[in-house]
Structure 1
């Protein structure tokens, strides 16, 4: 196998990177190799946002698309064929003067110790570029949503959001995208086979195919290789657990894996490589009740990088996507070489972090049937922080009524067992019954048969069971036949316009 360098656009030119280990983080490369130390290391796990950078790549129409990501958990080879922007890139756009984003932070006193500031600057710069291109300005809530992955311990968020509004009042300074587009077009980055090593260690390999057929063939040849998508989980295996993840197959350059299509029955086929942001946006357009879960799922940099298929295949019992998808009767599409098979999502999980993937197989898509969008659906996330936090438990529910009688119901929970699963006993207590408070109370009692939750750092077993039962009551209050609670009484985002 011929090894190739990783080639990407940075600081106005194409750079070639060779030899570094495939799991070297973009943050470490920036600070230690490129000597661009404006980007900071805070948590080193994708939570605090101090390391936020912006990655640009060309879409199908050849237009430059910008997205924030956490550089601490992104691996250098994933930049192949893309553009990397950091806080050092802003002043050159303004002939050596402060960019409007930076100037607004100065004027609004949006920085004290300054450690988190470069990450805020890059998130605000991404927002600035998107709204300047659209000729719009964000609301304060939109700014809060965009900054939900950036934490500040000393300044407070009010002056930072003030700066986010102020930056549009200053003389405009847009990124000149033409040279970036020309450079990326000249790269003509195709499939990548890359090798690199740490001193004194054997080399590791990263394969980055660009087509589904190439990915399927690679997966069969390398069934033990680690599949890498958004790196929002595997990045922590490296940065926090110091795991040797072996050889990697990176799926982020397979365009066909990112498509979201409408099916003949009105359902959705969501490619497993579609970002969490794009996948949740597509679902929320059809089911606005899912918007709260979308905006509370991690943070924009995580949702831009992470994928729906990765979140499902990971198999974490506290993953937020599977409960919702189970409530929607989602099927998963698996591929092994030329063979493609489908299975209901609840059948995929065997035990804690174990699933039915066979050697050489990978998840290709998730299928949501059209009938699912005709049901009443809710998804609830319970966590200690409102934004950017891991769930203590998560529920995905759907119901169909015939008059006041329950015709069909799905009640799925994460955080209540070793796997995400549906509450079979609770569903049985509801199905065919009048949708009344007494029926809900029967379902609450039945949950004790469905789950024996554990106590851990996020919640006690007793808390999880009590809250799961409470969520069933909340679901009824929102969907009861007589006087259901309106969205204005149940959703924070309903009274804090976010513009999505």
Structure 2
């Protein structure tokens, strides 16, 4: 018999908090400001871009409590179940500011102050998780999801380097043992169902429970990280009445790492999978580093990025180029299909009512394969792609035997460039004059989108140029002259 709990439970200031009877669309930010009256957490953009609403969630991973930053404005209240919730009001202890707060004061890192609570919370998570010693580039990455309209970035980064360069030594580190025990006491393995059959927030604890519930309510909205669905609620004002959160489903958060492939569970976060993808190829690591912000990567999931079917999602094209496959489940039935066949039309996928994504299998590169991926966006950090191109070349010496090429942002779905792939078969990397047919073929593969992110003509030109860039870099084996990051590293090495 399945035991159901009609409340969510989370850890707060050293004790368990239980909440029931909330509306399924309640955002964590609204709970904090309207129920707890903890108004230090600010609402800025209400879409997960500015970072003013950043809070920290602590969960036991790898035997200890780990803190991650999340955007409270697009995180459902129900998603904090089983976690420790930390806000800016919780950091000072015994009348003393937290080390990251003291550093911001000392370096004049707060100006108008509206963004400061979110910056403090991002630095709090970096204080507990950052590399030692901390580099300026890593500090910038950690703060990419926090906008300061007073343009005080230099003193903020200086404060970051001072505060986050050593081991964590605060009240949270001191009581990490009792916190871990408290979090363990919340992990009861029960399904959560708050509401009734017409309106509910549910969090199944097993795949079987998820399949049964989704089968009964195929009109429910599945939520993993809520980085996209959150905007449906805060911006589109959608009246979503039934929400099923996947964050408690045992097994969907597992990664199987074999010599041939990565098997990635649907609820594995972008932050968690980043290191494994970077080991497949550095370009995959760079795409993931620029995937949203630290807050988005901590919440957003691999399965969510695939299942929402966005034509501008970054994971789908790189996974298609690598030859990834999806595993889906509906009731007791499971099936597998190539990822490229999952996308039918704009926001439409080959997914039956009540069917959900379980896993994605991503093949690793073989010795005779070369990979390149490029994210083109208006802003280098924390921006949605205008175009993302991914290329996998199978080589016989210096000749291309086969190619898999996929683009995002060029059509209503992530899509392979079949004409370009055919034109590359047999092309020599030592004969740039033979690349012209492939560069021209990209125009036959796509009639690019024309929207506020980029014009159709711009996208067409960029795609053609990326074909040349991928071939040039594969031919030379050197990316230092063609990459912004490579140039920066080369300059630093020269100094």
Tell me which interval the TM-score lies in, with the shorter structure as reference length: over 0.9
Hey, what does 2:72 align to over in structure 1? 71
- Gap change, CA 1:168 and 1:302, over 3 Å in 2: closer
Matched, 1:495 2:491: no
List aligned pairs for 1:301-312, cutoff 5 A.
Answer: 301-312=295-306
Question: In the alignment, which residue of structure 1 is the partner of 2:471?
Answer: 476
In the alignment, the residues of structure 2 paired with residue 164 and residue 86 of structure 1 have an alpha-carbon distance, to the nearest angstrom, of: 18
CA distance in 2, matches of 1:427, 1:215: 40
**Superposition deviation, residue 169 in structure 1:** 7.5
| 8 A Cα contact 1:260 1:274, kept in partner | yes
Larger deviation: 451-460 or 333-342?
333-342
Alignment of 1:227-242 (within 5 A): 227-242=222-237
In the TM superposition, what is the alpha-carbon distance from 1:432 to its structure 2 partner? 2.2
Deviation at residue 187 of structure 1 after TM alignment = 2.3
Question: CA RMSD for the aligned pairs?
Answer: 2.1
Name the counterpart of 1:183: 182
For residue 447 of structure 2, what is the aligned residue in structure 1? 452
Residue 213 of structure 1 is aligned with which of 204, 208, 215? Answer: 208
Aligned with 1:393 (options 387, 392, 396): 387
Quickly say closer, same or farther: Cα 1:362–1:494, change in 2 above 3 A.
Answer: farther
Contact 1:110 1:155 in 2 (8 A): no
Name the counterpart of 1:82: 83
Aligned 1:48-67 pairs, distance under 5 A? 48-59=50-61, 62-67=63-68
CA contact (8 A) 2:269 2:301 kept: yes
TM-score, length basis structure 1: 0.92
Aligned to 1:303, the other structure's residue is in SS state: helix
CA separation of 1:163/1:400 partners in 2, compared to 1, >3 Å: closer, same or farther? Answer: same
| 1:3, distance to aligned residue in structure 2 (A) | 6.1
| Alignment correspondent of 1:429 | 423
Deviation at 1:300, TM superposition (A): 0.8
TM-score by length of 2: 0.93
Structure 1 spans left out of the alignment, 5+ residues: none
Greater shift, 7-16 or 239-248, is seen at 7-16
The CA distance in 1 between the partners of 2:383 and 2:377, in whole Å, is 6
Change in Cα spacing, 1:484 to 1:190, as seen in structure 2 (3 Å) is closer
Residue matched to 1:102: 101
**For residues 25-36 of structure 1, what are the structure 2 equivalents within 5 Å?**
25-36=27-38
CA distance in 2, matches of 1:28, 1:295: 29
Structure 2 unaligned regions, length at least 5: 491-495
The Cα of 1:338 is off from its aligned counterpart by 2.2
Partner residue, 2:163:
167
The one-character-per-residue Cα deviations of 1:187-219 (angstroms, maximum 9, x if unpaired) are 23433433359xxxx962122112222222222
Structure 1 Cα separation of the partners of residues 223 and 170 of structure 2: 36
Residues in 2 aligned to 1:340 and 1:472: alpha-carbon distance in whole angstroms: 37
CA distance in 2, matches of 1:14, 1:493: 48
Equivalence map 1:318-357=2 (5 Å): 318-357=312-351
**Structure 1 residues 47, 168: closer, same or farther in 2, change over 3 A?**
closer
Inter-partner Cα distance in structure 1 for 2:323 and 2:342: 13
Counterpart of 2:194 in structure 1 is 195
Instruction: Tell me, yes or no, if the aligned pair for 2:11 and 2:17 is still in contact at 8 Å.
Output: yes
Provide the rounded CA distance (Å) in 2 between the counterparts of 1:88 and 1:296: 30
CA shift in 2, pair 1:209/1:467, >3 Å: same
Local SS of the residue matching 2:485: coil
Q: Secondary structure at the match of 1:255?
A: coil
Greater displacement, 170-179 / 222-231: 170-179
For 1:89 and 1:484, the matched residues in 2 are separated by: 50
Query: Does residue 1:271 correspond to 2:268, yes or no?
Result: no
Equivalence for 2:44 = 42
* CA deviation map 1:145-178 (0-9, x unaligned): 1111111110421100100112258994251212
**Alpha-carbon distance in 2 for matches of 1:281, 1:43:** 30
For residues 74 and 367 of structure 2, what CA distance do their matches in structure 1 show? 35
CA offset at residue 4 of structure 1? 1.1
Q: Distance in 1 between matches of 2:165 and 2:334?
A: 54
Q: CA deviation at 1:496?
A: 5.1
Judge conservation of contact 1:335–1:341 (CA < 8 Å) in 2.
Answer: yes
Equivalent position of 1:485 in the other structure: 478
1:225 CA drift (Å)? 1.2
Aligned-partner Cα distance in 2 for 1:233–1:372: 34
Q: How many correspondences in the alignment?
A: 484
Q: Distance in 2 between matches of 1:493 and 1:235?
A: 35
